[in-house]
Amino acid sequence: MGEMFNKARKRLKTAAKHLDIDPEVIEKLRYPKETLAASLLVRMDDGSRRVFKAFRCRYDDSRGPTKGGIRYHPAVNMDEVMTLAFWMTFKCAVANLPFGGGKGGVAVDVHKLSRAELERLSRAYVKAFATFIGPDRDIPAPDMYTNGMVMGWMVDEYSSIVGYPSPAVITGKPIALGGSVGREDATGRGGYLVLRHLEKELRLSPERSRVIVQGFGNVAFWCAKLLAADGYRICGVSDSRAGLYDPDGMDPDAVLDHKAKTGRLDGAPTKGKGRIVSNADLLTTECDVLVPAAMENQIVEENADRVAASVILELANGPTTPAADEILNKKGVTIIPDILANAGGVTVSYFEWVQNKAGFYWGLEEVQRRLKDIMVPEALRIYAIGRDRAVDLRTAAYVHALDRIGKAIAAHGTKSFFAG
């Protein structure tokens, strides 16, 4: 097993110490239920053919069909996919969704593909994994460098293979193909709801609290936009090139508009004298709330001691390593973990799946109300577990999720018929 996966499994061991749980539950969760690697042979625009490595992992389906995104990134490998599927298993349990965790990916740089090549790659993925996925087995969704358009190609290809329309096989689709309203801002909104409803316990207030967001994709933008609308001061954002910092704050809409027009953060309007800083420096710049919303492993042992925020809201998957966790916990930094903070996306994906199954679609207000009805109580439960057991919120979230997963596994039957 790879280093990333082994680090992720440490969370399982830590949580298990705080529960009276059957050892067979832990044994079942040590490894994924099912993994598949495939080689996608894709015809390029120049007539040549190229092979792209592709992966899919179904980690655990004790609570229902597996659920998780498909990412396109040059660094995608099985170790990463297994780790992400492991996290998804616990994330779905935190939100009490009837899903297990899955994940998939293709090792590809999408910036080097034409739109036609991207479509052929996406359809090739579905052909390779058509027997692995399914609306009652494993339900993909968008992830890094995939979007509604890609999901539209994929659901079309799957429907062609099975011979009938099957919108529930994939979520994150365009509205016209059965997608759900409210999905675009769901992950950022979920993180926003968690922070707002824990702010008293975390000693935050919109009038006084400064926020730095690492990343400025869809998730980061919506969280920043919603917090700014409530009075939080957004002091920093970043993209893959650099960060933009201004202690006087900035308007996320104005920054996004500038980036859309120029492709850069440099020169974006801010409320004071904004300046460009490195991504590394932005992570350790003084603020009250740091929101890592980009890649994994951003807060590590080497920089954790220099993180100046009192609260970290993890909107990325796995942005903080276990070694960094230990340092931050000793410093008294509160980490709202990814499996809680960014669960809004999979929650609204669940809503989309339910609507596809029923053939009945909800309005935006109902989607947002149902999202709040899930995110807020779970955040308060996890905070209470952390307080009552005197553990950090990440451990509390894993304890909460593991308890639910363990009960599902036990209900399936963990003991041998021949056990004494």
Residues with a known catalytic role: 103
- 45: exposed, middle or buried (Cβ count in 10 Å: 0-12, 13-18, 19+): exposed
Give the span between the Cα atoms of 318 and 339, in whole angstroms.
Answer: 9
What order of strands is seen across the sheet that includes strand 289-292?
275-277, 243-245, 233-238, 210-214, 289-292, 311-313, 334-336
> 352 has which bridge partners?
none
Of all helices (H) and strands (E), which one includes residue 100? strand 100-106
Q: Taking the C-alpha atoms of 199, 202, 203 and 209 in order, what is their torsion angle to the nearest 10 degrees?
A: -70
Pairing label, strands 138-142, 100-106: unpaired
Give the span between the Cα atoms of 221 and 213, in whole angstroms.
Answer: 9
Pairing label, strands 66-72, 233-238: unpaired
Angle between helix 344-358 and 78-94 (nearest 10): 80
Tokens 């001061």 locate to 233
Give the span between the Cα atoms of 313 and 192, in whole angstroms.
Answer: 9
- Classify 193 as helix, strand or coil: helix
Task: Say how many C-beta atoms besides its own lie within 10 A of residue 38's C-beta.
Answer: 18
Tokens 């070694």 locate to 323
Give the span between the Cα atoms of 168 and 140, in whole angstroms.
Answer: 10
Alpha helices in 301-392 (DSSP H): 322-331, 338-341, 344-358, 364-389
CA contacts within 13 A on the Cβ side of 123: 14
